[in-house]
Amino acid sequence: MNTAIVQLSYLVATVLFIFALHWMNAPLTARKGVFAGVGAMILAIGATWIQPDIVHHGWIVLAIIAGILVGVPLSMVPLTAVPQRTALSHAFGGLAAGLVGTAKYYLWFSEGPEQLTTFRMVAIIIEIILGYLTFTGSLMAAGKLQEVRWIPQRPVTYPLQNLTNVGLLGLASVVGVALTLNPTAAWAPALFPVVILLALVFGVLLIIPIGGADMPTVIAILNSYAGLAAVAMGFVLDNKLLITAGALDGASGLILAIIMCKAMNRSFLNVLFGAFGQTQQAKTEGSQKVYKEETIEGGGQVLEQANLVVIIPGYGMAVAQAQHKVRELYDQLKKRGVSVKFAIHPVAGRMPGHMNVLLAEANIPYTDLVEMDEINSDMPQCDVALVVGANDVVNPAARSDKTSPIYGMPIIDADKARTVFAIKRSKNPGFAGIDNELYFSERTWMLFGDAKNVVGELVKQLSGSAVH
């Protein structure tokens, strides 16, 4: 009877998890998805806890309370810090999977060696390799995103790097196979930590050569690994709910990683082993080209007379904390009957969908946030494209210059607008170290300065000229 209740609860939890993700397909139903997910999780915890095997309740209560005490503050971080929170969460997921796999192995080794079947050993080895590499890899990613001082921001490369990494993973697999074939040998418990150690080191080395621009992809890949580690745990524990929930998680990470790769015109292998931004030499031949500057007054007048203004935000906008000023500009223009849209590139921001959340926080209706593919057909009708803190995602070299490292990357066609205003802090090139032709185009006028100040001045200019 008890088993039936437990299995039924797990089944209902699986259905609720699927609905939780299904409801994320539209902003109107998305919050229902959160409630479904919470319900599923409560069912899963309850059903596991009431099982007769569970006899020590004190430790469970303590660990849950500790988790809540750390979890609540972690959910209140500023939205610019969500990428590192997400990476940290993958680290926790990987750690949990790794520890449960380790505990199970030693438990079975001492109390029931016959339980260590080949199938289970394979699952345990996959679980701990994925778990521990996700743990250290995600900690590194979180450190890079948080800009922790002793973790290098720039990609770190050294000779034979890829060979070292592949060799390390290969070695871990070989030891894993040896353990799978002889799970109960006297030397097995001593060899087991070697796999753990190799996986931990591999996680660090995997992330070291990856630069900031590739972080959205890397976070998505680590998301997938954390899910697959949970799947492996399900195989180890013979638990179908772990398998289904882990598979949903793994599928989500995979799809997001594919979307990110497509948005940068790169492959998985290239992201993981390519060390982007390292080989690119800064070109100096562009030094003769001159920017055309526009004044705030002039910019304000042009904006005022436009029919359609498309604002193209990049992460620089968030760094300058300019979202709220941009919202004020949006309000001023809307008041004058100007149609204002935001063009969102999939990699604008530091994780998938980051820019949408940052703009939603500034109270900009999501109905005016338009995806790249949809806005591009409207760009020729656009009177003013206002580039705020974006660079590579509007660089026409991606379409035309075969020698450019970003060649082939889909971009927002800002250069097709009748007028382009680009706000830029300095005359230096962007993240990937590439000169941007857009800034030298005939139609482009630069507004130099801090994004928050420039947009703030534009708002003042517009509100000053308003007839009340």
Supply 20's token pair.
Answer: 């939780």
Coil/strand/helix, residue 269: helix
> In this complex, which beta carbon is closest to another protein, that of residue 232 or of residue 394?
232
CA pair distance 230, 250, nearest whole angstrom: 9
* Residue 337 lies near another protein (rule: CB under 8 A): no
Coil/strand/helix, residue 385: strand
Cβ neighbours for 358, distance < 8 A, ≥ 6 positions apart: 79, 80, 313, 317, 318, 323, 349
Supply 19's token pair.
Answer: 């609905």
Residue in 89, 161, 339, 453 binding another protein, rule: CB under 8 A: 89
Q: What letter does residue 248 receive in the DSSP assignment?
A: H
* Residue 145 lies near another protein (rule: CB under 8 A): no
Closest distance of CB 317 from another protein, Å: 16
* Residue 333 lies near another protein (rule: CB under 8 A): no
* Residue 264 lies near another protein (rule: CB under 8 A): no
* Residue 15 lies near another protein (rule: CB under 8 A): no
> In this complex, which beta carbon is closest to another protein, that of residue 304 or of residue 361?
361
Contacts to another protein from residues 95-134, by CB under 8 A: 95-97, 99-100, 102-104, 106-107, 110-111, 117, 119-120
Closest distance of CB 297 from another protein, Å: 29
Supply 330's token pair.
Answer: 């949006």
- Amino acid sitting at position 154: R
CA pair distance 344, 248, nearest whole angstrom: 26
* Residue 234 lies near another protein (rule: CB under 8 A): yes
Q: What is the end-to-end Cα distance of the chain in Å, rounded? A: 74
* Residue 187 lies near another protein (rule: CB under 8 A): no
CA pair distance 132, 137, nearest whole angstrom: 8
CA pair distance 349, 459, nearest whole angstrom: 24
* Residue 328 lies near another protein (rule: CB under 8 A): no
Residue in 208, 213, 254, 312 binding another protein, rule: CB under 8 A: 254
- Taking a C-beta distance cutoff of 8 angstroms, is the pair 117, 110 a contact? no
CA pair distance 190, 168, nearest whole angstrom: 19
* Residue 365 lies near another protein (rule: CB under 8 A): yes
* Residue 181 lies near another protein (rule: CB under 8 A): no
Alpha-carbon 7 to chain mean position: 34
* Residue 64 lies near another protein (rule: CB under 8 A): yes
Cβ neighbours for 11, distance < 8 A, ≥ 6 positions apart: none
Residue with tokens 């526009």: 294
Q: Which residues are catalytic, by number? A: 392
CA pair distance 239, 455, nearest whole angstrom: 55
> In this complex, which beta carbon is closest to another protein, that of residue 350 or of residue 424?
350
Supply 152's token pair.
Answer: 């290098």
Residue in 2, 5, 8, 70 binding another protein, rule: CB under 8 A: 70
Residue in 41, 148, 171, 178 binding another protein, rule: CB under 8 A: 41
Q: What letter does residue 410 receive in the DSSP assignment?
A: -
Residue in 209, 211, 212, 246 binding another protein, rule: CB under 8 A: 246
Residue in 193, 297, 307, 366 binding another protein, rule: CB under 8 A: 366
Closest distance of CB 458 from another protein, Å: 21
> In this complex, which beta carbon is closest to another protein, that of residue 109 or of residue 273?
109
> In this complex, which beta carbon is closest to another protein, that of residue 55 or of residue 290?
55
Residue in 145, 220, 422, 455 binding another protein, rule: CB under 8 A: 220
Residue in 5, 8, 74, 282 binding another protein, rule: CB under 8 A: 74
* Residue 4 lies near another protein (rule: CB under 8 A): no
> In this complex, which beta carbon is closest to another protein, that of residue 78 or of residue 380?
78
